[in-house]
Amino acid sequence: MLADRNFRLQFFIPPDKSFLLAYWPNDQKSLPERLGVSLTLSAVLECRYQIRTAPGKGVGMFAMEDIAPGAIVARERPILVAPLMLSWDSIERDISSNMPEHVREAFFALHNCKPPSFARVHGIINTNAINIDDMPGQTDFGPYVAVLKDICRANHSCNPNAIYRWDFATFTGALHARRAIAAGEEVSISYIGAHMPYAERHERLRDKYFFVCKCPVCNLPPAARAEDDRARQELTFVRGLLEAGFYDEFAPDVPKQLAMAKMLEDASDCNVSTWRAVAGKLVRAYCTLGERAEAVKWARRAMEMTLVDTGTDGGWAAVVAAPENTDVWRSKVVDK
């Protein structure tokens, strides 16, 4: 473990009076310099939710308006960013001495699912913090995590309607809708892999977060739960084929692709490579058949899910606008 002195504590009070306590390697550069980020943006850049009681789960996040797939539900600046290798004692000390009281109160009001044998700060960070992947220019200091005051209130669902993404350009975390979310609906994310069967999910959530999941999928009656387990297993199988490069051999035809797409829809799966494979085949098939409306429909679906997963349209917007310009459509016209 690296000594805490290798990190320099930095804190920022942007003009909007938000507050960020961040640890960074103890070199000359400040955090904004290193990232090229001004940190002057508003702390809560998108707020289409409210935090209120979620029966049986403590509090949770609820949509205040209808939210379209891919749209941002919440965008927020973290109140704490730290490498996990730092000692809990030193984080606790810094929170006590450097965080303004109202931010400290918000931090300590966050849920702590760990037993009392865990240091309080350890418990809160382990319950709430989200990983910040690929810290620019840093490979030596292990994973960093961020604590976000509101986004950390989003509860888990085994069929979540939102996905979390970190953005270095604004130094914010955001929740994006994986599918349409209705006003008043609870906004949920997945704390664990989505494709495990019920028993495995139950065990992971119990061991890591100390709760029994009360999401709609886990409340299904036994027969429906068994069917859900089967669908997840099939999805896992397809993912395996994709990763192994065997997907083409196993699933070349349109009915199979439509069945696959339905499976992805049912699971609100927004994994970009899965959608590229499945929707790509449907779009190609419908372009070949000259069925423009269907080609556009599936290109749009792939675009929405690619936006959710990556924040870019992945080139699908051009296909939605003009499937006639795709190579496969052109070669069809030439064939005639």
Ligand X SMILES: C[S@@+](CC[C@H](N)C(=O)[O-])C[C@H]1O[C@@H](n2cnc3c(N)ncnc32)[C@H](O)[C@@H]1O
Contact call for residue 217 and ligand X (CB under 6 A): no
User: Which of 22, 31, 43, 57 forms a contact with ligand X (CB under 6 A)?
Assistant: 57
Residue 143 or 240 with smaller CB distance to ligand X: 143
Contact call for residue 59 and ligand X (CB under 6 A): yes
What residues are paired with 61 via a beta bridge? Answer: 51, 187
Run of H or E including 317: helix 316-321
Contact call for residue 132 and ligand X (CB under 6 A): no
CA–CA separation, 179 and 71 (whole Å): 9
User: Which of 86, 152, 261, 283 forms a contact with ligand X (CB under 6 A)?
Assistant: 152
Q: Are 45 and 75 in contact (CB under 8 A)?
A: yes
**Angle (CA) 61 65 66, round 5°:** 105
- List the interface residues with ligand X, window 156-175 (CB under 6 A): 156-157
Residue 145 or 258 with smaller CB distance to ligand X: 145
- Of the ranges 17-25, 133-141, 208-216, 303-311, which one interacts with ligand X (CB under 6 A)? 208-216
User: Which of 122, 214, 292, 332 forms a contact with ligand X (CB under 6 A)?
Assistant: 214
- Of the ranges 3-11, 39-47, 147-155, 171-179, which one interacts with ligand X (CB under 6 A)? 147-155
Could you tell me which residues come within 8 angstroms of residue 21 by beta carbon, excluding any fewer than 6 positions away?
9, 10, 11, 79, 80, 81, 94, 95, 98, 99, 103
Residue 151 or 278 with smaller CB distance to ligand X: 151
CA–CA separation, 196 and 214 (whole Å): 16
CA–CA separation, 159 and 236 (whole Å): 15
Q: Which residues bind ligand X (CB under 6 A)?
A: 56-60, 111, 113, 127-128, 152-153, 155-157, 209-211, 213-215
